[in-house]
């Protein structure tokens, strides 16, 4: 009897034990995701900033041939990316109240033999698989005013792993500088002031596709041009702010690509440029002459300013043009180069000190109204510690082709330096 009574008690104890173990298992499984979520720490970006290198010389064939010394010239759409004051700088032959200008330059690097290319001036072969740069500008003028938009974009692809087995192990880097600006001319178009919203943006993604990880921020750019009427010279100044572009978009998006953490920000250094240009030869005093449109506007407005007499369109304005410029590039703290994405890259900092970039260009009207020759030199500073500035030799020509609606011309340029060659050809208007 005693044993019969114990058996049921033991059975209930066994059932209770099995129930407890089942309850423990259920609770453990239910709690595991929360525990895993707690163990998973959010990926933080690297504390360094990616350096937004001002880059190689890019622009119209005339800008390149003159060594980039264009801040003190500031003419047309081609001059807009160099000096925003070009927006309200009317061509001396302009007869209507408005004008429209477009410029587009495309630099493609053929990496069939990468031994010959060093775009970032670090003294060794570029580690990117491909590279291309695009510069475009659009301006609209109306009387004394001008507005415009300019954009420069650089794209490169890096192997994030040594194997580089597929596009999922390649990182595509896109860096963009853009500006939306307006300008106004004062007096006899003697002084032109321009203000712009300057933006530095960057995006990163895998070559296989997917969402972009974006950085961006803006600053205010102030440019000016002084071109006194009746004088044979001009002065130009551009002040571009430093922009620290921070991570944008979805806060839950991990800043990681191909197993590589990205950076806390992208840093574009501040740039101060001072430029001047001079005309020499017969008629050099006409360098800053008024356009027919500007002269007509002065007459209509009835200003107290004197209106100079009208001059023939083909009157000589000095056969020699000399232009000089110096760029001061500010230092940036805690910055690393774009090649940091490459699997072979070693940790290093760049852009910590300020750099100077002197430029000099010469243009000659060899056959007035038909042929112009150009030459220039400039020193390209390197943001890498211990690397000297790289000297460049530039040059080119412009040839009048035909007159149909406008005066058309073909322009060629070259830019030569150690492990760097840039040859360009463009079609545009003869001015």
- What CATH number should be reported for the domain whose range is 43-363? 2.40.160
Please tell me the distance from the alpha carbon of residue 337 to that of residue 427, in angstroms, as a whole number: 35
| Structure-token match 């321009």, residue found | 194
What's the chain's length in residues?
431
Please tell me the distance from the alpha carbon of residue 77 to that of residue 151, in angstroms, as a whole number: 12
Instruction: List the structure tokens of 116.
Output: 């010959």
Give SS3 for 173.
strand
Q: 322 forms bridges with which residues in the sheet?
A: 278, 362
- What's the pLDDT score for residue 218? 95
Instruction: Profile the chain (431 residues) by mean pLDDT over runs of 10 residues.
Output: 40 44 43 43 76 86 96 94 96 92 82 66 81 92 96 89 81 93 95 97 87 92 96 97 86 73 90 97 93 88 70 84 97 88 77 94 94 97 90 96 86 93 86 79
- Give CB contacts under 8 A, 24+ apart, made by 364-368: 364/319, 364/320, 364/321, 365/319, 365/320, 368/316, 368/319
Given 3-state DSSP classes, what are the helix, strand and coil percentages for the chain, each rounded to the nearest 5?
Answer: 20, 45, 35
| Structure-token match 């927006």, residue found | 87
Q: 203 forms bridges with which residues in the sheet?
A: 174, 214
Backbone angles phi, psi at 86, to 5 degrees: -60, -20
- What's the pLDDT score for residue 247? 86
- What's the pLDDT score for residue 304? 61
- What's the pLDDT score for residue 253? 64
- What's the pLDDT score for residue 285? 93
Domain ranges of the chain: 1-40, 43-363
Please tell me the distance from the alpha carbon of residue 288 to that of residue 275, in angstroms, as a whole number: 16
Distance of CA 263 to the CA centre of its chain: 19
State the number of CA atoms in the 13 A half-sphere of 219 facing the CB.
Answer: 17
What is this structure's pTM? 0.85
Return the closest-CA partner of residue 196 out of 233, 147, 263.
147
| Structure-token match 């807009």, residue found | 80
């Amino acid at each position: 009897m005693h044993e019969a009574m114990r058996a049921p008690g033991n059975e209930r104890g066994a059932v209770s034990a099995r129930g407890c173990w089942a309850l423990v298992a259920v609770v453990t499984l239910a709690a595991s995701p929360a525990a895993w979520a707690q163990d998973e720490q959010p990926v933080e970006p690297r504390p360094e900033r990616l350096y937004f290198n001002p880059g190689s010389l890019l622009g119209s064939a005339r800008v390149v041939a003159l060594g980039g010394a264009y801040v003190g010239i500031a003419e047309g759409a081609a001059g807009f990316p160099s000096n925003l004051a070009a927006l309200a700088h009317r061509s001396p032959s302009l007869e209507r109240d408005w004008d429209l200008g477009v410029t587009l330059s495309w630099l493609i690097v053929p990496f069939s033999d990468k031994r010959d290319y060093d775009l970032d001036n670090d003294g060794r072969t570029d580690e990117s698989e491909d590279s291309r740069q695009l510069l475009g500008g659009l301006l609209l003028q109306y009387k004394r005013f001008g507005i415009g938009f300019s954009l420069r974009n650089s794209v490169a692809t890096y192997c994030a792993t040594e194997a580089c087995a597929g596009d999922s192990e390649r990182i595509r880097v896109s860096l963009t500088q853009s500006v939306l600006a307006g300008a106004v001319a004062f007096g006899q178009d003697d002084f032109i002031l321009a203000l712009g919203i300057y933006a530095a943006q960057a995006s990163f993604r895998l070559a296989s596709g997917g969402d972009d990880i974006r950085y961006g921020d803006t600053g205010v750019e102030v440019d000016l041009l002084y071109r006194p009427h009746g004088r044979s010279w001009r002065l130009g100044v551009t002040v571009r702010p430093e922009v620290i572009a921070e991570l944008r978009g979805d806060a839950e998006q991990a800043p990681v690509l191909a197993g590589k953490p990205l950076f806390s920000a992208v840093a574009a250094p501040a740039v101060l440029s001072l430029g001047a240009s001079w005309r020499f030869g017969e008629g050099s005093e006409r360098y800053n002459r008024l356009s027919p449109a500007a002269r007509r506007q002065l007459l209509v407005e009835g200003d107290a300013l004197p209106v100079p007499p009208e001059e023939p369109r083909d009157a000589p304005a000095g056969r020699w043009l000399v232009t000089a410029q110096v760029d001061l590039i500010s230092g940036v703290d805690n910055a690393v180069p774009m090649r940091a994405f490459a699997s072979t890259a070693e940790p290093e900092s760049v852009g910590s000190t300020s750099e100077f970039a002197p430029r000099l260009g010469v243009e000659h009207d060899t056959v007035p109204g038909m042929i112009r020759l150009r030459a220039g030199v400039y020193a390209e500073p390197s943001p890498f510690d211990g690397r000297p500035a790289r000297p460049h030799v530039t040059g080119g020509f412009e040839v009048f082709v035909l007159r149909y609606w406008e005066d058309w011309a073909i322009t060629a340029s070259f830019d030569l330096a150690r492990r760097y060659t840039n040859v360009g050809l463009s079609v545009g208007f003869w001015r």
